[in-house]
Structure 1
C-alpha cells in the first residue's frame, strides 16, 4: 500500500491526514483514510499589533540599560561638580525623593531662566550646577548611528532645522535663551488658562533641538561665566565637561556631558552566504545586489510576457542590457511605460501588477537602482565593484570612526571618504548571497538565464558548491539546518513557530506509521505574510462572510431555493450594483426569480482557462451570455471602442476587488490547446511562494521516503485555490471557521490530490464548459447508468463525505501547552500603599496582600503582579478538597517557591489569610496554560477532558476550554462547559469560574501532538529553577 501524508499548515494550526491506496496506471487509487488530526498552537506574535512577543522584553531591557548608562553618566557629572563647586554630593543625589538642590519653593528659579541669565550675570555655584545638569540630562538629538534608518528621524530633523532657523532669525544667543524667552510661562495660543510647554508633549516634536546646539550653548555659558569672573570656571573645568577635540581617547575628546558610547559593529549579525559558508551576505544596497534583484524581476517579467502572449526575443541578452542601461541612465528608475517601449509590446498587453483604473498607470516604477546612483553621486569615478565594497562596509558598521578605519584599510582616499560621509547613506539590509556568489551569477543572468538555471550551470562547472544533503529517518530542527544553509534562516517568528510544530507532527507520525511515500502540503495564505497583510485578509474574509449572510437573507426574502448557486447569484448581483456586467441593463427581482433569464458566466471561458473560482465569475443576462459565447470580455466588446469604454467604466463602478476588475478589462489572454491545459492547471495550482519552497526543500532534502519505483517527485506544495476547487469538485460542504476540525477536513482533501486527480479535474471543467455553452453536447451525454459510473470515479473513495465526517469525529484536538516562564515581573505603574487600602482593607490588608504575593513592593511603592505562569494543585489528605497555589514570573525572578493557596472572601474589610500547604495537604500536579486535565464536577456521571486556560485569584476558581469547539461528545461535556453567549445564546465550549475545591475528579493528563491521551504519573513538586542568579527586586 502507498501511504500519503496531507498537511494543512496555518499560522496557529496544523491539520493532518494519513491515507493509503494502491498504485494503478501510475496514479494512487482505492484510497482510504487511516487517521486525521489537528494541532493548535499560539501565533508567535502579539495579536493586537503583530509585533514580536519578545519585543516588550527587548524594549524593557534596552530601556533599563539606557537608564543605567544615563544614571552613571549623570553621577559622574554630579561627582565632578561636587568636587569643583564645593557642593556636598548629598544635595545633588536623590533617593526616592527629589534631591534637596532641585526642590521647589517660592524663591525657586527655573533652570530655563538660569540658562538665560547665565549669559549676562555671574552664577552662584548651585545655580551653575543646575544649569550644567539641566543640559546634561537632556542632551538633544544626535545621529551618532551613521546610516541607521529611523522612521521618526524625519520629524525630528525637521523640528531641529526649524528651531535652528528661529534661533538665527530672532537673534537669540543660545537654544536655552530662545526656549525661555519664547515659551516659558507664556500663555498657550488659542487655549484659555493653559501655558506653553517648553518640552515636547506626547507625539509632538516641535521642541526638538540638536546636540550640537546644546554643546554650543554650554560652551557659550562657560566662556561667558569665565569672562564675568566666575572663580570656578577655567579651561580645565571646560575641558572636563566639554572635552578636548585633540584628545585621542573618545571619552576625553567628548567630555563628561556629551560622551556617547559607540555602537557595536553589526558585522557579526550578518548571516553567511548560502553557497560560500565563510563569506558574509552582500549588502542589498550594493550595485551588484541591486543588479541581481533587477535581473530577477526582468527575467521573470519576460517569462510572464512569453507565457501570456507568446512573444519571444531573439537576442534576450541585448534586451536585458537595454533595460539595465535605461536604469543607469534614469535615476528615477525604469517605468512600465519605458519597459513597454523597449520591448515593443502590443497595446492590448496589460501588466498584471498595475491597477489600470488609475491615470497613467504605466508611469509606475518597474525597478530602480537607487543606491547605485547614490554611491555614484558621491564618487562617480569609483568602479562598481569598488562601490560594492563601500556598500558592504556601510552595511556592517554604524559608527563613523569604524567606517572610516575600514575604508582607509581598503585604500580609499581621504577625499573619497569625506564624500561618502557627506552622502549620509543608509544601508542595512542584506541578500542571502555573498558578493563572491553574485560575481559568478550575474554574467549568466545578464544572458537571460533564470537564477535556478544559472546555479545549475555554475554547479556543473564547479564554480558553486553542490550541497551534500544527508537524509534521515526524522526531520532535523530547522535552526540546525540554518547554521549550514542560510536558505533555511527564516527571520519571521510566526513562520518559525508553524514549521517547528510541523516538524513535531511529521516526526510523531513517522514514529507511528514508519514513514511515507508522498507528502502533500498546503500553507494557508497567512503563512509568510506580514501582520498588516494578514489583517487585510481577515477583513476580506469577514467582509465576504457578511456578504454571504446578506445574500442568504435576500435569497430567503425573494423566495429562492437556499443553495450555493443562488447565494452566489445574489452576491454578484449586489457587487455589480444590480446590473448585467456586459450590457449594463438593470437586473430586477423578477430576473432573479426566473431561472431562465440569468447566467453566472466565466470571465475567461472555463474551457480555455480551467478557472472555476469565484474570482472568474460574473452575473449577466442569458441573452448577453449567448452573444458572448466562448470569448473573453475584450474579445466580445473590444472591437467597438464605445462599448468597451462603457464596459470599463461599469467594471470600475462595481464593488469587485482590484484583481477581479483587472481580469474583466484584461486585453491579453493566451488560449491553451487541449494538450497543455492539465499541465497548466497542475503548474498554477501548486504554491510556489518562498515559504512554500522552503518547506518543500526542508522535506525533500532531509527526509528519507519509503521506497517507490519510478517516482522522483515526492513532495507537492498544494495551493489553497486547488484545495478549494477540490472541495467543490468532490462535493464537500464549505468549512466552518468556528471550530478547529476544519483543518483536518482540508488535510484529508489535500492528501487525496495527485496527478490523476488534476487530470480528472481538468476533464471535468472542460465537460462542464461544453455542457454549459453547447446545446448539442446534451445529445452526446452518456446514458444514466454510464453517467453514474463516471461520476463515482470522480471521488477518491466511496462515500467520501461520510468517511471524512467519521474520521474528523474521532479527532481529539491537540493544543500546545505553554511551559515557558517569560514575561514582565510586574505591571509598570507604581502605586502608593493607600491605593490598595479599599481593595485589601487598609494597611493590615495590604501587608497580607504583600505576604501572599497579590501585590509586590518596588521602589517604595506597590505594583500589580505580572503573568501567572504556573499553578500548583494540592489536595487535603483528610477531606479531599483541591487547592491552588499561584506562581508568578516575579516568584521565579527571586527564586522563591510560594506555598499558600488562594482563599476568597474577607474578615470584615480585611482579606482572609491564604492557606499554608502544610503536611495535611499533598501535592497533586502543576498546571501551565493549555495543559489538559481530567475533571468531574458534581452532577456529572463520568469525568471529561478539558484544557486549563487560567486561574482567577479573586474567585479561587479556574477556567477551562473544550478541545475542539465543535460539538459535545457527551452529556457530561454539555453539563460542564456551561458558558453561553449572552446575545446569541450559543454555547461557547468553555467554563469560567469553576471552583475546584469540591471536584470529584481532578487529574492532569498529557496529550501528544497527535492527540493521544495519557495519564500523568505522580511526580514531586518542582522547585523554581533559575537560569540566572536571583534578582534583587
Structure 2
C-alpha cells in the first residue's frame, strides 16, 4: 500500500472537499468533492409544526367524539341517529342542528330548561372550543403586544360579572362576530378565555338542567364530561400513549415509560448515569464552576502556587455579598495580595480576549432583583434554589411554571407563599444565563460529591474524578470498531447542518483507511455553524460590505488629492493591490498614523509610498492573522521601532522619538468611529491588546483563535479522531484548522478562488493537506494540539519572528513547484453527488386549491379550472392584479358569470375613475402617483358592495377568478362536498424509470411522483396497478425492456454512437409530462450552468435551467444511455441495465 499519506478535508455545509497528498513526493495523488443537500433546521421545524398541527387536530376530534359517545351512553342523544353504526370521525356531528345559535343555548341553559337536543348541542359547543389552559394573567404576561394584553384585561374584567357565553352572545349581537379580532368602540376584542371559565359555565348548565334530567345528568356524567372538557396532555409527555408507542414521547417502543420526556433531551450524567444533568444556573453548578476555575489558577504569591481553602471561602463570601459589578481578577488580587502578572491559568473570552472566570453571576443577578422586592435569596436552601432553577430552565410558559412550583415545591418548602411564587414568575428572566448551554455536564449528585474536596484542596474536576475512581482511563471507546463509527460521532454534534457534514467527511476518512491502510496526517477545516442559505447570504453580505467600504475609501482618498487623475494612472499599473490596501487602512484610520498620531496626507501616500508601511498589529508569527483586522498603516520609522511587539508593549516604553503615549494612542483608537463598528470589533481588540507576547498562554490563545479551530463541533471531531487512531496505534496526527489560515495560504500562493463551480472544494482540501509541512513548524511550533478544551488548547508554540522571516517560513510553498499541479487540475477532480431515493418526502406544496368545472369563451366542452383570488382591489397592487386578469379575459371572473350586475358596477367605476392621482411632492411639484380607481370611489362613497335590495350586500374586496386548467393533482375533496373540489398541486417527483423499445430502437421514460406511492403493511412503494396506469399514460410499450431507474442527482452518460461524442450530466427529474422524453438536467461541476454548448444537448444559457429531451430527436436512434453510479469519492461505475424489473413495486 502507498504510504506517506496526508489527507486534507475541506468540510462545508453541503460539501466535503478531499485531497490525498504524498508528502514525500509533494504530489497530489487524488482529489475531489462529495456534494449533498445541506441539512436545514428550518425545514425540520416546518415538519414539526405541521405534525404538531395534525396531532392537535386529531386530539380535538377525539375530544368531540368522546363527548358524543358520553351523550349516547347516558341517553342525552338518540342512538338511532347513527343507524346502529359506531360513532366515528365520519358521523359524530350528525346529532346536532348546526343552524342553532350555540351561544343563545348556553346562556339559556344556565337559567331555564333546554330540550335534550339543545342541551347536547350546548355542551358539545363547549367541548368544541374550550379556551386556553392558563389564566388570563399568565397569558397576558407571555405576550409583549400591549393591545393583546389590553384585550385580555377586558375579558378578565368581563368574566367577573358574566359567563363566557353571555360575553360571546353580547358581542355577536353587537358586532355580528365572536371569533378572531372584533373591533368595538376603539377596542380590539379577542375570543380568548381560560378553560376554567368554560368549566365553570359547563357546571352551571349541568346544575340547572339536572332538575329536568336527573337520570341523565348524574354526578358520574358530570365528572366524565368535565374530564373531557379539561383534559390536556402534559407537555413533558410528548406524543403517543401506552397503546400507541413512539420514541418521540415518554412511551418508548422498547417498552420503557419515562416520567418526563426531557429526561432524554436533557441528557444524563456520565459519572452517575441515572442522574439528569443539572441546570447551569443552579447555585450548585455555579459554585462548582467557580471552584474549578479557582483551582486551575496558578498564583505566584502562594507558596504552592494555589489558592488556599480559606481564601476560596473568602472569595465565595465576597461574591455572594457583592451588590454591583464584579471584576474577578480584582477580587482575586485583593484576597491573594497579588498583581495581574502573578495570575495564570484562566480562560479568556474569545470575543474580547478578557479573563473569563466564573463569578456566581446568575446567583448574584437573582439576588439583586429579588432584593428589590424585599426577598432575601440567601435565606433560601440550596436544594430549593437548585430545584427551582430546574423548573425555570425546563419551562417557559408562566402557567406551567406556576403549576410546577405549586405542585412540586410548595408542599416541601413552607416559606413559599403566593407572593413569592408570583415574584418568581415575574422575575423569571433574572435566572437566565448568558451561556447558550442551559445544562451542566454533571448532575447535582456528582457536583455535590466533588465540591467539598474542591473547596479544601487545589484540585480540578478531572483529577478529582480520577482520584475518587469515578472515571476509568483504561476504557477504549473504539475497541469494537475497525473503522470510524461516523453516526455515533456525529450524534455528539447538536447542529444538524454540521452533523450531516461531519458524517459525510468521516465516511471519506473510512474509505481512505480501507484503501491506504495508514494515514499519517489528517487535517480538517470545519464549516461555519450556518445552513446553506445562511452561508450564501453571509458571503454575499460580506462581499457587498467590503465593496462598499472599498469604494468609499477610494472616493475619499481621491477627493483628498491635489490631482485626482494621479490616482487613476497609478491604479492602472499592475501590482496596485498593496496600494489599495493602504488606501483602505488610511480611510479607516481617518488619515492618521496611530503610532505617531501624525496625519498621513493623501498626496504623500500616493507619491512617496516608501514613507509608509503596513504593520501587523500583533506579529504574524504569534497571531497567524494576515487579515485587515490585524493591519494598520503607519510611518515606516514607527513600524521599524515597534518591531515584533504589540502597540501596548511599544508605546508603554516611551523611548521612541515621535511616538504617542499609550494613553494618547488609546484615546485615538476609542474615538475612531470605524473601529467602534461591530464588524471591526476584532481590530479594536488587537489595537488595545495588553497581554505579554512572551506568555505561552497568550500565544496559545492566538493559535486557538486564528489557526486551530476550537469550536465545539471541531473539538468533537478532533478528539474522536485522535482517540480512534490512538487506540489503533497508527501514529496518525490530526488537526482541525481554521479557514482564515488556509485562505491566507491560497492568496499567497496565487490560487484564485471561484465559487461558480465545485472545483474549489478539492483545491482547498489540497492546500489543507499541505499545512503540516510548512517550514514554520521547523522553528518549534505545531498545528497538532495534544488536547483541546473550551477556549483552551495544549499545543506547542514557536519563536516570535519578524514578518519577512514569517512569510518565508509559514507562507512559502512547502514543496517545490507545488502549485504547478493546479494548472490543469479540473480534469482530475472527481465529484460524487448524494442521490435522493427517500420515499417519505413531501407530496406537494401546502396550498389547497379550489376547483370548478366550467367553459370559458369558445371552449366546446367543460374543463376543471383552479380558482384563485385577486389581492385587495382597493390597493394599488391589488388593482393592477385585477386589471391584468381583466385585460386578458374578463370572463375569467366568477362574479361576471354569477353576479353580472355587481361586476358591471366595477366596470363602470373603472371607466369613471382614473388609475392615478396627482399629488404635490416636497418641492411643491405635481407628481402623478398610481392609485386604484376603486379606492378613489371608496373615498367618496364608501366600500363597494354587491347588488342587493337595500344595498346591504357584502363588501367586494377580493374577486375569485378561474386561474389555470387542472393538471396532475391530489384530490382531497371531502366526501360531503357538492359541486366543488379541493386539490393539491405542484406534485413532487420521486423517480424516473427508463425503458428501451427494441422495435423502434428508442428510449422511453415514465415519471413517478411521491403522491403515487403507498404504504402497504408498513412497506413503502408503488402499487403494481398504479405503476401500470402511469406506464400506459406515458405510452411505454408492453414490449419495452426496463433499463434502470433514475433518482434526483443520479449521473447519466449519453453517447452518440456515430460520432463517438459523449456527455455526462446530473439527472434531476421528469418534466413536461405531455411531451415525450423531457427531463431536467444539471451540470456535474456546478449548480448553475455556464453559457456553453454541450455535446449532444447543444446550447445552454448561463444561470438557466437545463430542460431537454433525454435523447434529442435528431439522435433518437443513434444514442446509447448509461446510468453512472459513484462511490463516496466519485469513482464511477457505468450501468446500462440494472435489473429485469423496477424496484419497489407492491403487489
Which TM bucket (shorter chain)? 0.7 to 0.9
Does structure 1 residue 769 correspond to structure 2 residue 778?
Answer: no
Between stretches 738-747 and 667-676, larger displacement belongs to 667-676
1:383-782 alignment to 2 at 5 Å? 383-384=381-382, 413=412, 415=414, 430-443=439-452, 454-459=461-466, 462-466=469-473, 467-471=475-479, 474-480=482-488, 489-524=492-527, 526-527=528-529, 537-538=538-539, 540-543=541-544, 546-547=547-548, 550=551, 558-561=571-574, 563-573=576-586, 575-576=588-589, 583=597, 585=599, 587-588=601-602, 591-592=605-606, 594-606=608-620, 609=623, 611-620=625-634, 632-634=646-648, 636=651, 639=661, 641=663, 644-652=666-674, 657-663=679-685, 665-666=687-688, 668-672=690-694, 681=703, 685-703=707-725, 714-729=733-748, 731-754=749-772, 757-759=775-777, 768-769=802-803
Structure 2 length as normaliser, TM-score?
0.68
- For residue 12 of structure 1, what is the aligned residue in structure 2? 14
- For residue 485 of structure 1, what is the aligned residue in structure 2? none
Q: Is the CA contact (8 Å cut-off) linking 1:900 and 1:917 kept in structure 2?
A: no
* Structure 2 CA distance for aligned equivalents of residues 97 and 74 of structure 1: 8
- How far 1:237 sits from its partner (Å)? 2.4
Does structure 1 residue 889 correspond to structure 2 residue 907?
Answer: no
1:181 counterpart (152, 170, 176): 170
- For residue 812 of structure 1, what is the aligned residue in structure 2? 830
- How far 1:54 sits from its partner (Å)? 3.8
What are the superposed Cα offsets for residues 541-598 of structure 1, whole Å, 9 maximum, x if unpaired? 3335635884899886853535542343344355456665564847537734652354
What are the superposed Cα offsets for residues 822-878 of structure 1, whole Å, 9 maximum, x if unpaired? 22334434434427988999767799x999964434534322254222121222222
Q: Is the CA contact (8 Å cut-off) linking 1:323 and 1:342 kept in structure 2?
A: yes
What are the superposed Cα offsets for residues 379-423 of structure 1, whole Å, 9 maximum, x if unpaired? 977753576577679989999999799969xx9748489989886
* Structure 1 CA distance for aligned equivalents of residues 974 and 443 of structure 2: 51
* Structure 1 CA distance for aligned equivalents of residues 843 and 1089 of structure 2: 39
Q: Is the CA contact (8 Å cut-off) linking 2:629 and 2:680 kept in structure 1?
A: no
Compared CA separation, residues 66 and 123, structure 1 to 2 (3 A):
same
Does structure 1 residue 68 correspond to structure 2 residue 40?
Answer: no
- For residue 1021 of structure 1, what is the aligned residue in structure 2? 1141
* Structure 2 CA distance for aligned equivalents of residues 580 and 734 of structure 1: 32
Q: Is the CA contact (8 Å cut-off) linking 2:206 and 2:222 kept in structure 1?
A: no
Q: Is the CA contact (8 Å cut-off) linking 2:1053 and 2:1124 kept in structure 1?
A: yes
- For residue 815 of structure 2, what is the aligned residue in structure 1? 797
- For residue 27 of structure 1, what is the aligned residue in structure 2? none
- For residue 5 of structure 2, what is the aligned residue in structure 1? 3
- How far 1:506 sits from its partner (Å)? 0.9
**SS of aligned partner of 1:834:** strand
Q: Is the CA contact (8 Å cut-off) linking 1:6 and 1:747 kept in structure 2?
A: yes
- How far 1:821 sits from its partner (Å)? 1.4
* Structure 1 CA distance for aligned equivalents of residues 124 and 1092 of structure 2: 72
- For residue 237 of structure 1, what is the aligned residue in structure 2? 217
Compared CA separation, residues 762 and 598, structure 1 to 2 (3 A):
farther
* Structure 1 CA distance for aligned equivalents of residues 516 and 1140 of structure 2: 34
1:50-65 alignment to 2 at 5 Å? 50-51=41-42, 53-65=43-55
What are the superposed Cα offsets for residues 650-705 of structure 1, whole Å, 9 maximum, x if unpaired? 15566572423432552523132899979975896222222112112221222479
Does structure 1 residue 256 correspond to structure 2 residue 228?
Answer: yes
- How far 1:74 sits from its partner (Å)? 0.8
Structure 2 unaligned spans of 5+ = 238-259, 556-566, 652-658, 782-797, 867-963, 976-981, 1016-1021
- For residue 198 of structure 2, what is the aligned residue in structure 1? 214
- For residue 1012 of structure 1, what is the aligned residue in structure 2? 1131
* Structure 2 CA distance for aligned equivalents of residues 747 and 688 of structure 1: 19
* Structure 2 CA distance for aligned equivalents of residues 678 and 562 of structure 1: 35
1:75-114 alignment to 2 at 5 Å? 75-81=65-71, 84-86=75-77, 101=96, 103-104=98-99, 109=101, 111-114=102-105
Compared CA separation, residues 651 and 196, structure 1 to 2 (3 A):
closer
* Structure 1 CA distance for aligned equivalents of residues 852 and 1110 of structure 2: 31
**SS of aligned partner of 2:685:** helix
Structure 1 unaligned spans of 5+ = 23-29, 189-193, 244-251, 483-487, 773-786, 904-912, 982-986
Structure 1 length as normaliser, TM-score?
0.75
- For residue 906 of structure 1, what is the aligned residue in structure 2? none
**SS of aligned partner of 1:657:** helix
- How far 1:902 sits from its partner (Å)? 7.8
- How far 1:616 sits from its partner (Å)? 0.3
* Structure 1 CA distance for aligned equivalents of residues 804 and 810 of structure 2: 20
- For residue 984 of structure 1, what is the aligned residue in structure 2? none
Compared CA separation, residues 836 and 541, structure 1 to 2 (3 A):
farther
* Structure 2 CA distance for aligned equivalents of residues 242 and 378 of structure 1: 46
Compared CA separation, residues 814 and 915, structure 1 to 2 (3 A):
closer
1:188-199 alignment to 2 at 5 Å? 197-198=181-182
1:369 counterpart (349, 363, 378): 363
1:36 counterpart (31, 55, 63): 31
Q: Is the CA contact (8 Å cut-off) linking 2:647 and 2:687 kept in structure 1?
A: yes
* Greater length-normalized contact order (CA 8 Å, ≥ 6 residues apart): 1
Q: Is the CA contact (8 Å cut-off) linking 1:285 and 1:429 kept in structure 2?
A: yes
- For residue 775 of structure 1, what is the aligned residue in structure 2? none
1:918-933 alignment to 2 at 5 Å? 918-933=1037-1052
* Structure 2 CA distance for aligned equivalents of residues 363 and 700 of structure 1: 29
Compared CA separation, residues 551 and 746, structure 1 to 2 (3 A):
farther
* Structure 2 CA distance for aligned equivalents of residues 90 and 917 of structure 1: 51
Aligned pair count?
932
- For residue 241 of structure 2, what is the aligned residue in structure 1? none
Q: Is the CA contact (8 Å cut-off) linking 2:106 and 2:165 kept in structure 1?
A: yes
Q: Is the CA contact (8 Å cut-off) linking 2:392 and 2:401 kept in structure 1?
A: no
- How far 1:799 sits from its partner (Å)? 0.8
* Structure 1 CA distance for aligned equivalents of residues 140 and 476 of structure 2: 43
Q: Is the CA contact (8 Å cut-off) linking 1:744 and 1:808 kept in structure 2?
A: no
Q: Is the CA contact (8 Å cut-off) linking 1:222 and 1:238 kept in structure 2?
A: no
- How far 1:632 sits from its partner (Å)? 4.2
- For residue 974 of structure 2, what is the aligned residue in structure 1? 859
- For residue 1064 of structure 2, what is the aligned residue in structure 1? 945
- How far 1:508 sits from its partner (Å)? 1.2
Compared CA separation, residues 919 and 31, structure 1 to 2 (3 A):
same
* Structure 1 CA distance for aligned equivalents of residues 147 and 451 of structure 2: 41
Q: Is the CA contact (8 Å cut-off) linking 1:551 and 1:570 kept in structure 2?
A: no
Q: Is the CA contact (8 Å cut-off) linking 2:140 and 2:152 kept in structure 1?
A: no
* Structure 2 CA distance for aligned equivalents of residues 813 and 972 of structure 1: 21
**SS of aligned partner of 2:1023:** coil
- For residue 315 of structure 1, what is the aligned residue in structure 2? 307
